[in-house]
Structure 1
Amino acid sequence: MTLLDRVRAAGNETPAASRATRDEMLEWLKGRVREQLPADDIASLAKGNPERARNEIRAVCRAAFEGSGRFDTGLAEQEALADTLIDSMLGFGPLEPFLADESITEIMVNGSRSLFYERDGVLHQSEFCFASDDEVRMLIDRIIGPLGRRIDESSPMVNARLAQGHRVNAIVPPLTLDGPMLTIRTFSSRVITLQDMVESGSIEECVQRLLIWAVRARKSIAVSGGTGSGKTTLLNALSCHVPPDERIITIEDSAELRFSEHPHVVRLEARPRNAEGVGEVTIRDLVANALRMRPDRIIVGECRGGEALDMLSAMNTGHEGSLTTLHANSPKEAISRLVTMVRFVADLPVDVIESQIASAFDLIVQTARGADGSRMVSQIAVISPGESIRECIVAPIYQRDICGGAGVWLSAPEWVGDLVKLGIATDKEVQSWKEMSLCVS
């Protein structure tokens, strides 16, 4: 007897057709699939050939409905039930619709109590919630299992990156008091450009032009801001303007940067300790290694530790034009943060570190997030050495109120006057920018 015949025979044993709730139909369908496809077989098949596993489950579902008169359902509803079951067995289950919606940037599962998602910077509570904490825990295991990670009482936290690029954080009891927690930061399949940011109001056209010039002129830039303020998105948009004849090496804790057109990008990703507590490769290790890989530009996704010292050394020894992000609420605070990071790994005087920062960085671009969830560039500051060789001057040149309105330019960077000689902009373009931003005629 074939597989389809067995399913039809099993289905014929059920009572006559009747209307049932969606949950009842799913449970019945899951039982039929489990009878014909043991869980171990499904897991093995999904690991080796996910598409075939989906097709096998779909075939069993179709046969189950064909051989049963229990449920009064149309073909479209049957297909929808099969899709839901497949997602719950192989994919992200109830989270699939959220992941498929590119307008959603964050998904937060608070055990079985609630599920929230972020769209356009604003939190929304979903009507859906998981039936039990065990269901959430099984989903977490299904997500991190193929990534070679584990989570249990001895290792109750995990950070991972999915094949689609989404960033996952999971934390379970005993560290959480209200069940297992799952947070997924999603990323659009399309790279958001500076032009997209102009159209959405995140930056002004004059800001876009200056930032493009800064990247092409090999100015080292730090993007600072709070959590969720759009630092990585802006960093990615800036990276897209690196000339195609330069070799880019990106270094990230969890690979998020994407390049759709640049022909020469080498992507490196840090690695945590394994279950035995060995095998860790830090961002600092990768920065040191990147210097031996003939980089034209080094892009560090986030600078938050000892790698700050290696970045400063690289920028001051021939790797101008490097880019990074860091957590800070203002450009001045960004300098203090960098000093603190360096002092974690080197017992150097503060003034010496600040002089290195002044030599290494040219611009700090501050991002901010408004109360309505909107993200914008709120400040741009020029970094330069002071009169004393061991002094770091932070001079704001652009400011914008996060409550709305146009930004105000206070001055222009000195290097804007060199753009014509470098062949990056024409004299007419520079003059037009000054008229637009500084009201200089």
Structure 2
Amino acid sequence: MRHCRRVMHMGGRYSGSGVADMFRSLRSSIPWQMGRGWRKSDEMPVASDDRGGNGSDLPAFPELSCDNGQTCIDRYWLRPPYSYAAILRDAADVLTYRLVEPPLTSRELILLEETHEYLRDTVVLDDPKTKSRTNLQLSDVARIIRHFDPGIADERIGVLHYYLGRNFLGYGKIDGMMHDEQIEDISCNGDGVPVYVYHRVHSSLPTTIRFTGDELNLFIMKLAQKADKQISLTTPLVDAALPDGSRTQLTFSNVVSTRGSSFTIRKFKSEPMTPLDLIAYDTYSPEVLALIWLAVENRKSMLVVGGTASGKTSTMNAVSFFIPSNAKIVSLEDTREIQLPHENWLPTQTRETNIISTKADIDLFSLLRSALRQRPEYIIVGEVRGMEAQTLFQAMNSGHTTYSTLHAGTIEEAINRLTHDPINVPRAMFGALDLIVIQSLHYENGMIRRRCDSLHEISVTPAGEVKWSTLYEWDPRAGRFRRVAFGSQILDEIAAMHGWDDEEVGRHLAMRELFLASAAKDKYQTAADLLAAIRNLEKSNGVPVPAA
């Protein structure tokens, strides 16, 4: 068990003129070889112009009519050349998200319904597995449409094919939003209420889309069907994963809410969150991530703590890139969110059955007990909220490196949650927990940002009292992370493990910081390429080598 002891200022131990000189000399000698990346400049979608907005081969945007004095401040293609997103600002400076799709004539609406009915009679829509394998080929759709209207123009067939795909296999009137990489979640709080989206750049926005009561009920049932779940008046709550990995929470009719049915979709990011994304979003600095990197690489356990939508899982996913490539990893989640490029990774998830199912429930506690029998080196748990936390701390105290998230606002709240009902982790077991990261949402210039508030080391006194020392904290006045005047027990332990002196510890931290700072400005091809570059750095014992 690690106990509190007097430590020296980190700046006096692991930095100084020697390390600083080494840091500067390395800057010009690193042969970074990376590909395409998400850079700070990509944070705002590229401003659009009449050619399609980004100098590429995208088609020109059609003319957009705005009502009530609105002006379009941003637009970008979603499914060119048919749908694009437009961000509108009115005279009161209120922003609205508008999903723009090609209009249909009354005859085309009838033709669309006729074709849809024909396809519905041909394909078994009630079987989600059959439906997921269905592919609406343009040639087949064109043949069916021409059967109903031989004189239709070719370009209008493409438009009808788009609508058939979004209605038949997609998500109906919100399908374009599901293709918008700038949107994090989509929610509808009842019939007649605007659908809201959370935009990565413009934060929470109302949209121009609304559902009627019957329309919303049918859509809720469609979402449940896509998730292979049943929803009804007897089971009006459903929490599930959609085929693309997005998480959805559904309520049916007015059993739960007086506003009627509702849904929330937390979209699945197609590319995994990486450490470079955390830097690009200004959530972490390279210096803070360098310390976390060294801790993760040396099997130190960590909790990521924060409120709802503060980016806890994204951070946990990103820092998992620092896990050695051949280490055995087992992840446990209610709904799949974690994405790792590691080959020796076993992702598992819980199963919650409905009343009529003959399958047994599989909860996090069961998955965790099973994972401990698989000899994992690293265990990643999506979130701890109950008795599985005790098993998680048992795993830590038995030598397993573990990472998880917890809902809390501060370090004090996190310790209180963990040590009281319903979690009740014995205080003596906190000696195996090394780091706690605190994240939150910040409002800056009208924008919402996710940011690490502080990084803490955890220790237990001989009397069994849980203590913590703050390594870094965000300084809002200076707009940067500030190193707090405490030493690091973790770095002391890592130094003792490798036989390093203070200067060597400083060199390894500086090397990782420089790598992250340079790579964040550079480019990389895929998450796997980033992982390979990280491995090259580790294999060279901190001396950068070219990518293969």
* TM-score normalised according to structure 2 size: 0.68
Q: Tell me the equivalent position of 1:392.
A: 466
Q: Which one of the candidate residues 369, 392, 405 is aligned to 2:441?
A: 369
Q: Which one of the candidate residues 464, 485, 492 is aligned to 1:417?
A: 492
Q: Tell me the equivalent position of 1:3.
A: none
Are 2:307 and 2:409, in contact at CA under 8 Å, matched by a contact in 1? yes
Structure 1 residue 45 displacement after superposition: 7.9
> Which residue type is aligned with residue 432 of structure 2?
A
How has the CA–CA distance of structure 1 residues 221 and 87 changed in structure 2, closer, same or farther, with 3 Å as cutoff? same
Are 2:455 and 2:470, in contact at CA under 8 Å, matched by a contact in 1? yes
How has the CA–CA distance of structure 1 residues 282 and 67 changed in structure 2, closer, same or farther, with 3 Å as cutoff? closer
The aligned length equals: 403
Structure 1, residues 376-396: CA drift from partner, whole Å, max 9, x if none? 1110111001141x1110222
Structure 1, residues 341-360: CA drift from partner, whole Å, max 9, x if none? xx4377xxxxx811212x12
Q: Which one of the candidate residues 157, 181, 184 is aligned to 1:105?
A: 184
Which has the higher relative contact order, 1 or 2, with Cα contacts under 8 A spaced 6 or more apart? 2
Q: Tell me the equivalent position of 1:178.
A: 259
Q: Tell me the equivalent position of 2:198.
A: 118
Are 1:213 and 1:424, in contact at CA under 8 Å, matched by a contact in 2? no
Structure 1 residue 219 displacement after superposition: 0.8
How has the CA–CA distance of structure 1 residues 435 and 264 changed in structure 2, closer, same or farther, with 3 Å as cutoff? closer
Q: Tell me the equivalent position of 2:347.
A: 267
Structure 1 residue 67 displacement after superposition: 5.3
Structure 1 residue 189 displacement after superposition: 1.1
Cα distance between partner residues in 2 of 1:134 and 1:402? 48
2:240 aligned counterpart, secondary structure: strand
> Which residue type is aligned with residue 167 of structure 2?
S
Deviates more, 1:298-307 or 1:428-437: 428-437
Q: Tell me the equivalent position of 1:354.
A: 427
Q: Tell me the equivalent position of 1:191.
A: 272
Structure 1 residue 140 displacement after superposition: 2.2
Q: Which one of the candidate residues 70, 89, 93 is aligned to 2:172?
A: 93
Structure 1, residues 260-280: CA drift from partner, whole Å, max 9, x if none? 2x1111111111132237722
Are 1:46 and 1:52, in contact at CA under 8 Å, matched by a contact in 2? no
Structure 1 residue 143 displacement after superposition: 2.3
Cα distance between partner residues in 2 of 1:324 and 1:172? 32
Q: Tell me the equivalent position of 2:106.
A: 24
Aligned residue runs from structure 1 range 328-347, under 5 A: 328-340=408-420, 343-344=421-422
Q: Which one of the candidate residues 295, 301, 318 is aligned to 1:214?
A: 295
Q: Tell me the equivalent position of 1:14.
A: none
Q: Tell me the equivalent position of 1:33.
A: 115
Q: Tell me the equivalent position of 2:327.
A: 246
Cα distance between partner residues in 2 of 1:40 and 1:67? 16
How has the CA–CA distance of structure 1 residues 47 and 219 changed in structure 2, closer, same or farther, with 3 Å as cutoff? closer
Structure 1 residue 374 displacement after superposition: 0.6
Cα distance between partner residues in 2 of 1:426 and 1:135? 67
How has the CA–CA distance of structure 1 residues 380 and 294 changed in structure 2, closer, same or farther, with 3 Å as cutoff? same
Cα distance between partner residues in 1 of 2:499 and 2:227? 44
Are 1:169 and 1:184, in contact at CA under 8 Å, matched by a contact in 2? yes
Structure 1, residues 172-201: CA drift from partner, whole Å, max 9, x if none? 221121121111001211112112211221
Structure 1 residue 421 displacement after superposition: 5.2
1:188 aligned counterpart, secondary structure: coil
> Which residue type is aligned with residue 230 of structure 2?
R
> Which residue type is aligned with residue 113 of structure 2?
G
Q: Tell me the equivalent position of 1:231.
A: 312
Cα distance between partner residues in 2 of 1:172 and 1:315? 41
Structure 1 residue 54 displacement after superposition: 1.9
> Which residue type is aligned with residue 369 of structure 1?
L
Are 1:378 and 1:402, in contact at CA under 8 Å, matched by a contact in 2? no
Structure 1 residue 299 displacement after superposition: 0.8
* TM-score normalised according to structure 1 size: 0.83
Gaps of 5+ in 1: 1-19, 347-351
Aligned-pair identity (%): 27
How has the CA–CA distance of structure 1 residues 356 and 23 changed in structure 2, closer, same or farther, with 3 Å as cutoff? farther
Structure 1 residue 50 displacement after superposition: 4.0
Cα distance between partner residues in 1 of 2:133 and 2:365? 39
Q: Tell me the equivalent position of 2:130.
A: 48
Cα distance between partner residues in 1 of 2:103 and 2:398? 68
Cα distance between partner residues in 2 of 1:23 and 1:344? 59
Are 1:217 and 1:424, in contact at CA under 8 Å, matched by a contact in 2? no
Structure 1 residue 53 displacement after superposition: 4.9
Cα distance between partner residues in 1 of 2:474 and 2:175? 38
How has the CA–CA distance of structure 1 residues 272 and 423 changed in structure 2, closer, same or farther, with 3 Å as cutoff? same
> Which residue type is aligned with residue 114 of structure 1?
P
Identify the structure with the greater helix proportion.
1
Q: Tell me the equivalent position of 2:387.
A: 306
> Which residue type is aligned with residue 118 of structure 2?
Q
Q: Tell me the equivalent position of 2:217.
A: 137
2:125 aligned counterpart, secondary structure: helix
> Which residue type is aligned with residue 325 of structure 2?
P
Structure 1, residues 191-214: CA drift from partner, whole Å, max 9, x if none? 121122112211111101011011
1:400 aligned counterpart, secondary structure: strand
Q: Which one of the candidate residues 148, 152, 155 is aligned to 2:232?
A: 152
Cα distance between partner residues in 2 of 1:345 and 1:407? 32
Structure 1 residue 144 displacement after superposition: 2.0
Structure 1 residue 326 displacement after superposition: 0.2
How has the CA–CA distance of structure 1 residues 424 and 332 changed in structure 2, closer, same or farther, with 3 Å as cutoff? farther
Matching of residue 325 in structure 1 with residue 405 in structure 2: yes
Cα distance between partner residues in 1 of 2:499 and 2:439? 26
Deviates more, 1:34-43 or 1:216-225: 34-43
Are 2:189 and 2:195, in contact at CA under 8 Å, matched by a contact in 1? yes
Q: Tell me the equivalent position of 2:453.
A: 378
Are 1:221 and 1:323, in contact at CA under 8 Å, matched by a contact in 2? yes
Structure 1 residue 428 displacement after superposition: 5.3
Q: Tell me the equivalent position of 1:17.
A: none
Cα distance between partner residues in 1 of 2:412 and 2:147? 69
Structure 1 residue 426 displacement after superposition: 8.9
Structure 1, residues 192-246: CA drift from partner, whole Å, max 9, x if none? 2112211221111110101101101111100000000000000001112111221
1:139 aligned counterpart, secondary structure: helix
Cα distance between partner residues in 1 of 2:449 and 2:501? 34
Structure 1 residue 55 displacement after superposition: 2.9
Cα distance between partner residues in 1 of 2:441 and 2:121? 45
Are 1:335 and 1:354, in contact at CA under 8 Å, matched by a contact in 2? no
Gaps of 5+ in 2: 1-101, 514-548
> Which residue type is aligned with residue 383 of structure 1?
I
Cα distance between partner residues in 1 of 2:150 and 2:122? 29
Cα distance between partner residues in 2 of 1:344 and 1:240? 32
Cα distance between partner residues in 2 of 1:76 and 1:28? 17
1:237 aligned counterpart, secondary structure: helix
Structure 1 residue 80 displacement after superposition: 1.9
Q: Tell me the equivalent position of 1:255.
A: 336
Are 1:45 and 1:53, in contact at CA under 8 Å, matched by a contact in 2? no
1:373 aligned counterpart, secondary structure: strand
